[in-house]
Structure 1
Amino acid sequence: MIVVCGIGTGVGKTAVSAILAGGLNGAYWKPIQTGRRKDSDQIKKWVPGCICYEERYLLKTPASPHFAGSVEGIALKGEEFRIPAHPGPLIIELAGGALVPLNDEEFLIDTFIQKKCAFVLTSRHYIGTINHTLLTVEALKGRGANLLGLVFIGTDRQLAEKTIIAHTGLPVVGRIPTYLRITKKIIWSTQKLWQPSLDKINSQFGTPFPKKKKLLSAP
């Protein structure tokens, strides 16, 4: 199980999840969805044939899960999460940033750290990204998270990436340039570029992921 988390909201976790699901022949699950647009619908467009499991909580309010739950009178509890029993790799996309509260006592990410999931952290290039990324990595490591690596999204800023890598010691899983619109073709081509990293991730697990029959067909 690989959890995709981010340094903030809207950094590109869904695109990262699509690339991982396609490249590892995996399924997709977003435990909590807020707002009226379902990210699983986008995954199905980008990765045809990908199995997408139903959300545990589907909240209409476009806000942080704990706030949306409060508005809608729904109590969110970590103990109620049951990870789908998928036979192959499962890509889990978290809502919002890494330290989004689940309720007044729990953070969503702690639920999946306790379940021994591995994590990929999504970082986006903007002013302040170094601080936000380093703080997030420190918080995850302090909680005992198994961090597989980083994904950088946006216009290439070599100095920022170099600084983040030097201070975290984490490998780079891949990069996604800035696009006006992410398409299935972009997901497919990026997946090909990431394949060496995906193969390394595959080899780190005690039980190897199933061999892919082939890459997603070019659109």
Structure 2
Amino acid sequence: MNFIKKIAENKIDDYVHKQFIKFGKGTFECKAIIDISASKTIKIKTSSEFTNELVELLANTIKDKTQVNGIIFATKNLSEESTIKFQDIKNAMGVKKHIIDQELTKEQVLELCHKFSMYSVNLSFSTEYGTLKVKEKAPKSGKSPTKEDQEPKADYCVFTTSDNKIIENFAFDSKKPFKKFFAKHTFLIEDIIVPDQYKNDFALARIHAKRKGKLIRETTVDGIKTKTEFNFLA
């Protein structure tokens, strides 16, 4: 279940919390973009917020080993913490790029997802279930389109599969079959609640504080627009 659906169903967990660590108070538009084309093959294009969970979703379908290519973006060297050897580690603008180009098992990919969940795990690979392609660029804050009639692009992750059950995860509020689905979200963070034990430590306060606010979800399903709001504390 992706983090947007978890908020909608009030099933807040640590993964949802980590999505909001970087945010202070304010209104953040054009987040968590989803663009689905549904036919015999389901193509899901998303913005960067869904990277790690899409990697984890597909990793769970690896049967033996599969060729994995990509980069883990982090603020520090992860070599000592990783059980797999990176092909290379490059520095770029204060970010360390951990290069992966090797065959990995389901367990190895899942370990990367769980151990480095605070970072962007940009891995591309295929299984019998589907194919995931993730951009090998560090995620950046999405920008609102310059024209009023334009929608923001979802092109950071591309996931393809023939299993239409996956639609329920991303288009959970669409009750009828569709050809095109688009969703964008606004995070309205109204308050930041810091636990008492972290109030004197800015770094830990940022990590452990909970963000209180609203998720505004705007969808377009075969041309029909809908807006819904969900309160959250994460």
Tell me the TM-score range normalised by the shorter chain: under 0.3
TM-score normalised by the chain length of structure 2 = 0.26
TM-score normalised by the chain length of structure 1 = 0.27
- Whichever of the two has the greater Rg, that structure is 2
